A and B are shown apart, each in its own frame.
Chain A
Amino acid sequence: MSVMALSQKKIKKTKIWLISGLLLVLLALVAYTFLYLKHDATMTDVGNRLASPSWEHPMGTDHLGRDVLTRLLLGFRLTVGYSMIALAAAVIIGVPFGLLAGLRGGWLDRVFMRIADGFLAFPDTVIAIVLSGLLGPGIGNLLFAIVLVKWVNYARMVRSTVLTEVQKDYITIARINGLSTFTIMRKHLLPHIIGNVLVLASLDFGKIILLISSLSYIGLGAQPPTPEWGAMLNESRPYFQGNPEMMVYPGLAIVAVVLVANVLGDYLRDKFDVKKEVQP
């Protein structure tokens, strides 16, 4: 491949992540700034049900006469917001646990590894379904189930990073200097972990959105009339033959956000994979 073609390929790649990022920001802006929320997302108007697009309702209305665009935008808040909450909780629980397990070792580490093995033995979705099935449907329980499944990944990743770093001389020297375990974690280990956590979180972001939506779709997550995208898909099932667009809109919304999240995650991964350390 010529130099010209290579550089063009690079430009194309750069643009994709930039466009994705801008798109996500734009979506968030629209959803969070009330640019369009002139309708109540739960106000029904049965006389105007399943309406075609008009100036009043740019995406038409659903089977209860609610404005679809309003519900979609509120759904962005819910789906993306819940996903953020679940992600933040998983990181906040997982990272300190991984740091402790890796640095302290001993029984703490062994107990932790057995728990992690237990969670890893089943696919995420299966555990989430079982847990939210046990705890009962509802978005709170669903989030709890997701956090319970996801924190293990962060803890494991942090633990393995810590285990490799701890053997290096600079940690030994920090210990000889009498630095406390906490200071070693904060000053010496956290910079090694932050990049990895960021990459894993951005890749998980899309997966969690899918998990929330798919569990809401089978009725274990958000309950009607909450305008969650998965729940919206579920509600529109009976009308699929007559009004397929009711299913297409939330479906497209999920695809778009997950795609954007994955593109950004891949970009971050490529960016952080660059080895800064050069071994002699």
Chain B
Amino acid sequence: MTVIEINHLKKSYNPDKLAVNDVSLSIEEGESLGLVGESGCGKSTLARCLLGVERVDGGSITFNEKPLANANRKDLRDYRRNVQTVFQNPTASLNPKLKIKDSLLDPYLQFQNELQLEHFHFTSKQAFVEQLLEIVELPKELGDRYPHELSGGQKQRVTIARAISIEPKLIVLDEPTASLDVLSQGAILELLATLQKSLGMSYLFISHDLAAVYQLCQRIAVMKDGELLDMFQKEDIYNSRRHEYTKELIGIF
């Protein structure tokens, strides 16, 4: 089943240039789609449109066969419950004045009345936080700490735990490993793969790192200057029919 479908999406910040130019793609249930491209190619803008942070200038986003453009309040809330995100900078993604447990509980408290969790069980806030920390392989007592007491990798694990806490259908990962050291990068990618296996959600994994995308994703899309150039199954990456730009990217790695 298709989780999300993007059709001819357009977005521009200034009149002369489209940041996202006529991009169409879809993500299936349980699938992870990698989106690769150099800095400024529009992949993060696409993510922001998807998350409803930016207004789209053309085209449509369809979630669960309902177009977002004419969604009512309830549909929109349903959409927000099912699409979560992890950003590049874990330090900026956590409120420095809030304890880890308070940041973790944000989405759950927002949607608790309409949630039906399959994998997690909410008995008490404390138990729920410990459960989440455990699944991202962090010590239980971190819940009472402040973000500045954690390392970058630990903070990113917390933001991942926050994103999966309400069991969304799709997680938009906007360069989640870009600000981490190489060792943490590998560990985070492994964690993401494990979580996908056990929770069954879809990923839109945005990165400039083709190797990371290759490791995590089944399907890979390549963007340049706001346009979608190429989209292929992971196995076909060395196929001769690949776009010239894709070949160039492969050459770098």
Q: Which residues of A contact B (CB under 8 A)?
A: 168-170, 172-179, 183, 187-188, 191-192, 276-280
Contacts and interface: CB of A to CB of B under 8 A. Distances in A.
Contacts of A172: 53, 87
B13 to A, nearest CB: 16
B92 interface: yes
A174 B92 CA distance: 12
Contacts, number: 64
Interface stretch (B63-71, B96-104, B207-215): B96-104
Contacts of A278: 148
Contact of A169 (B81, B87, B148): B87
Contact of B80 (A178, A192, A279): A178
A180 to B, nearest CB: 9
Contacts of B243: none
Contacts of B110: 177-179, 183
A178 to B, nearest CB: 4
A169 B107 contact: no
A173 B96 contact: no
Contacts of B87: 169, 172-173
A174 B53 CA distance: 11
Contacts of A279: 91
Contact of A188 (B52, B93, B98): B98
Interface in B95-136: 95-98, 102-103, 106-107, 110-111
A177 B106 contact: yes
A183 B152 CA distance: 27
A170 B107 contact: no
Interface string B137-151: 000000000111000
B179 interface: yes
- List 6 tightest A-B contacts by C-beta distance, closest first: A191-B97, A277-B96, A169-B92, A178-B80, A169-B93, A278-B148
B77 interface: yes
A158 to B, nearest CB: 15
B85 interface: yes
B47 to A, nearest CB: 11
A191 B98 CA distance: 8
Interface in B34-52: 51-52
B148 A175 contact: no
B94 interface: yes
B51 A176 contact: yes
Interface of B: 51-53, 76-77, 80-81, 83-85, 87, 89, 91-98, 102-103, 106-107, 110-111, 146-148, 152, 162, 179
A187 B107 CA distance: 13
7 contacts: A169-B89, A173-B85, A178-B81, A188-B98, A276-B146, A277-B91, A277-B148
B88 to A, nearest CB: 8
Contacts of B83: 176
A190 to B, nearest CB: 9
Give the dominant DSSP class at A's interface: helix
Query: Which residue, B77, B81, B94, B95, has most C-beta atoms of chain A within 10 A?
Result: B95
Contacts of B152: 280
Contact of B77 (A169, A170, A178, A277): A178
B80 A174 contact: no
Contacts of B97: 191-192, 276
Nearest to B81: A178
Nearest to A178: B80
A278 B89 CA distance: 13
Contacts of A176: 51-53, 80, 83-85
Nearest to B96: A277
Contacts of A173: 85, 87, 93, 106, 162
Contacts of B76: 178
Contact of B94 (A170, A187, A192): A170
A170 B93 contact: yes
Nearest to B77: A178
Given A169-B93, A176-B83, 19 more contacts: A170-B93, A170-B94, A170-B103, A172-B53, A172-B87, A173-B87, A176-B85, A177-B80, A177-B107, A177-B110, A177-B111, A178-B111, A179-B110, A187-B98, A188-B95, A191-B98, A277-B147, A277-B148, A280-B152
Contacts of A191: 95, 97-98
B250 to A, nearest CB: 31
Contacts of B93: 169-170, 173
B132 to A, nearest CB: 15
A183 B110 CA distance: 10
Which of A179, A276, A279, A280 neighbours the largest number of chain B CB atoms within 10 Å of its CB? A280
B53 A175 contact: yes
Given A173-B87, A278-B148, A279-B91, A179 B98 contact: no
Nearest to B147: A277
Nearest to A277: B96
